[in-house]
Structure 1
Amino acid sequence: MSAPLAPSLLGRALGALGALAAVLATAFVVAPRALAGDFADERDLRDAFRAAFVEYWRSGDRDFSPALESVVDYWFRYHVAKGVIAALLLIVLVALGALLWRAFLRGRGLGAGRNAAFASAGVVVTALAVFSLLAVMANVQGAVAPYASLLPMLTGGDTDSEHAETRARVRQQLAESVSGNGETSPALAVMISDFSLYHVAMAVIAAVVAIVLLGLSVVAWKRFPRSADTRARRVLGSFGVLAALSSLASIVVVVANTTTVADPGPALLALFDGGW
């Protein structure tokens, strides 16, 4: 085992990592839109996407129109920026959590109040790390299939007559495609293909995460009986259970997305019916 950090060094390390985590958390919220450029806010993006989608759908072409290509490229850059920042935040939070839990395990004689502070901070940081992991997963998925990631913006909210008419036609074609009673237009084929890719991406991502979490759970449970310290056993047991449950949740995500990939039409139709 590595030697414990001196209190002063530990304090500086915790402070530096905490400050870096705060900066990255702020950047996650405010930086991606500025880095991606083009659109002022979500409403501006939604309006631009809807107008570009109507133009594209009416063209009958398979290839995106310049306007739609611009929106999809922006959304790709947005998700890449958000995913990179979330990944950096996850790394910092893991390092911060490791220091906090190590300090807690080696903190006998420091007083109940200080030990409780280390434990509480460790729980909070662990929870934030889980949320950061989810953010990484979602943004990688959005970067892999940015067009499908934009599709929910076609539903809900205020709409004009052109958009409402186009959406109704999309829904009609989808319903006919699902029932096998109609032809699939080039634009609809692209939509179904990217929607399927969107779910393939999450299935793969969740499978990788499930494997990693399962490995961490195994490591924790292997160390559990070897530790004679009650406090260490509680921490190892808690992490073992958390990793195992999170792995099971990831497996459920894999199954759900794989099912959608096998038959994407009904799920895409549900989206346009407002069910996603």
Structure 2
Amino acid sequence: MSLAVPARSNRVLAVLVALAGALIAAFVVAPRLLANGSGAGFRDESDLRRAFRTAFAEYWLTGTRDLPAELATVVDYWFRYHLAKAVLAAMLLAVLVALAVLLWRAFLAAGAAGLGRRVTLAVSGGAAAVLALCSLVLVLANVQGAVTPFASLLPLLTGDDPTTVAVQVGRRLADGTRTPPLDVMIDEFARYHVAMAVLAAVTAVSLVGVCAFLWRAAVWSADRRSRRVLAVFGTVSAVLALIMVVVAVANTTNASDPVPGLAALFAGGW
């Protein structure tokens, strides 16, 4: 990938592209391998689904809050799986942000260079920025999954082929009958939403800071093209911050009253 930037920048660009490619491949392949390192031994999602459904059925019948060993093994695996994904996604996010900054700096420095070069730099920088945004979403989702692995496994009980136990859970939620396992599920489901509310709020505050920095830089920039690029990214940051605020509010509402959301999940509406 050659974009006619200075030789040193070209080398840095090549390293960042290679790192991004390696991290994307690692994100797809490595988490299951790393999570299975403890001997959990789940081959794929269908294997995990079967194990979780079997272990959960046993837990549901115990009538206690404590997770049995088989279920704890599945939950521990899911924690490690999401933790690995969160770390890899965070590393990918850092690389993509650096790549996007480098490409947009090259675009701004292109000046009166050929139209083809400027378009290539702009498109590449935009693609890197979009991929960075996708990585941010992956970081948030996987940190949430690592914080509340039990709750993030619950959708495996439902779907096109819900288990008998899932039907029973749905009935208990509908008629208000509480049991210790159901209390644990409700508590974990609330914590699931609390985690995302906190993550979204922190992200929103960070994006507001980025927005302020970019707009300040745009105001003080003497170059018209630089002002335009900085203003665009400042506006995008503000919009994303607003979206994160909405996400934080929605998850706070669900966390304060988790039963309807959990009932909707087991009714197939989540």
Deviations 1:126-163, CA, capped at 9 Å, x for gaps: 0000000000000000000000000011101335xxx3
1:123 correspondence with 2:126? yes
For 2:211, the equivalent position in structure 1 comes to: 217
Match of 1:152 in 2: 155
Q: Which residue of 1 aligns with 2:22?
A: 23
Q: Aligned runs of 1:70-219 on 2, under 5 Å?
A: 70-158=73-161, 163-164=163-164, 166-177=165-176, 182=177, 184-219=178-213
Residue 219 of structure 1 deviates from its aligned partner by 1.2
**SS state of the match for residue 208, structure 1?**
helix
Q: CA deviation at 1:66?
A: 0.7
Measure, in 2, the Cα distance between the counterparts of 1:245 and 1:131: 15
Q: Percent identity?
A: 54
Tell me the secondary structure at the aligned position of residue 220 of structure 2: coil
Letter in 2 for 1:114: R
Q: Give the corresponding residue for 1:10.
A: 9
In 1, Cα distance between equivalents of 2:67 and 2:183: 12
Q: Which residue of 1 aligns with 2:69?
A: 66
Farther-moved stretch of structure 1 (104-113 vs 16-25): 104-113
Does residue 233 of structure 2 align to residue 234 of structure 1?
A: no
CA-CA distance at 1:40 after TM superposition? 0.4
Query: What CA RMSD, in Å, does the superposition of the two structures yield over aligned residues?
Result: 1.2
Deviation at 1:113, TM superposition (A): 1.3
Whether contact under 8 Å (2:17, 2:99) holds in the other structure is yes
Query: Could you say what secondary structure the match of 1:225 adopts?
Result: helix
Verify: 1:47 aligned to 2:43, yes or no: no
Cα distance, 1:6 vs structure 2? 6.8
Following TM superposition, by how much is the alpha carbon of 1:88 offset from its aligned partner in structure 2, in angstroms? Answer: 0.3
Give the number of equivalent residue pairs.
Answer: 263
CA distance in 2, matches of 1:80, 1:189: 25
Secondary structure of the residue aligned to 1:228 is coil
- Deviation, structure 1 residue 190: 0.4
Alignment-mate amino acid for residue 206 of structure 1: A
Residue 228 of structure 1 aligns to which amino acid in structure 2?
A
Partner residue of 2:261? 267
Contact 2:5-2:106 within 8 A present in 1 as well: no
* Cα deviation digits, residues 32-62 of structure 1 (max 9, x gap): 0111012100000011100110011011111
| Structure 1 residue 7: Cα displacement | 1.1
CA distance in 2, matches of 1:97, 1:34: 30
Higher mean C-alpha displacement, 71-80 vs 105-114 = 105-114
Q: What amino acid does structure 2 have at the position aligned with 1:50?
A: R
TM-score, length of structure 2 as denominator length: 0.95
Name the aligned partner's letter for residue 225 of structure 2: R
In 2, distance between residues paired with 1:264 and 1:121? 43
- What are structure 1's unaligned runs of at least 5 residues? none
Which consecutive unaligned segments of at least 5 residues does structure 2 have?
Answer: none
